Homo-oligomer: A and B are copies of this chain.
Amino acid sequence: MSPRLILFPVPLSQAPGSPADVMPARNIELLSEVRHFVVENLRSARRFLRSAIPDFPIDDCTFSELNRHTRPEDIAAMLEPMSRGFDMGVISEAGCPAVADPGADVVALAQRKGYEVVPLVGPSSILMALMASGFNGQSFAFAGYLPVDDAARASRLKEMQRRIIREGQTQIFIETPYRNNRLIASLCETLPSDMLLCVASDITGPDQSIVTLPIARWRGRKYNYDKIPTIFLLHKN
């Protein structure tokens, strides 16, 4: 058997509840056989392993941390256990690894080396927000964070509006959670009244809320998404 790089999703929310609520039993079965990991955060990865498999032999495992502090030249050595024939796992801080986190670098390395890469099913706030928004899922774009600078942000939002109108492309983005309320206020100021805004908050968590309304209705609405992980989606009416 040639070694596999297996991408293990983890729960999104800090909510009580077991990993089995948001991932297939097969993930846990595969996890039980892996002893070598690339993780975004060592502490949260260990917490996940213990919650998924209470008697997981963590002391018999190797872990490499891959996050924004990692030097690019240190990534190459992380797949060394695969060169000895071992499967490896990638675990990010939340959700699906290698989407909007540094795990993509080690996946790219595995692809260059010709290793098999196996993605598993798990919670993705981007995808679940899109499903529940009612917006066009045949054409959509995720842009990560909007620019912080006011002029750059305004120009990015203009370009997004063009792509919504011309291409029917749903626009998806995120914000640092403590700025969520300010972002909605600023969208209400700058976007046309009939544009639809979906705010998808605490997905899979106890306060999950996914609300699609025209900008005109958001203007008069009371909301508080302060410090709650939230995804924003725009589309036309």
Copies in the complex: 2
A108 at interface by CB-CB < 8 Å:
yes
Q: In the complex, which of the residues B24, B129, B208 contacts A23, with contact meaning CB atoms closer than 8 Å?
A: B24
Give the contacting residue for A99; candidates B26, B107, B127, B143; CB below 8 A.
B127
- Give Cα distance in the complex from A192 to B21, angstroms: 44
Q: How large is the interface on A (under 10, 10 to 19, 20 to 34, 35 or more residues)?
A: 35 or more
Q: How many Å lie between the Cα of A134 and that of B123 in the bound state?
A: 19
Nearest to A128 among chain B residues (CB) is B119
Q: B residues within 8 A CB of A131?
A: 7, 96-99, 107, 119
Taken together as a complex, chains A and B put the C-alpha atoms of A127 and B143 apart, in Å, by 15
Q: When each residue 115-134 of chain A gets 1 if its CB lies under 8 Å from chain B and 0 otherwise, what string results? A: 00111111110111111111
Give me the interface of A with B, judged by CB distance under 8 Å: 7, 20-26, 96-101, 104-105, 107-112, 117-124, 126-144, 169, 198, 203-204, 208, 210-213
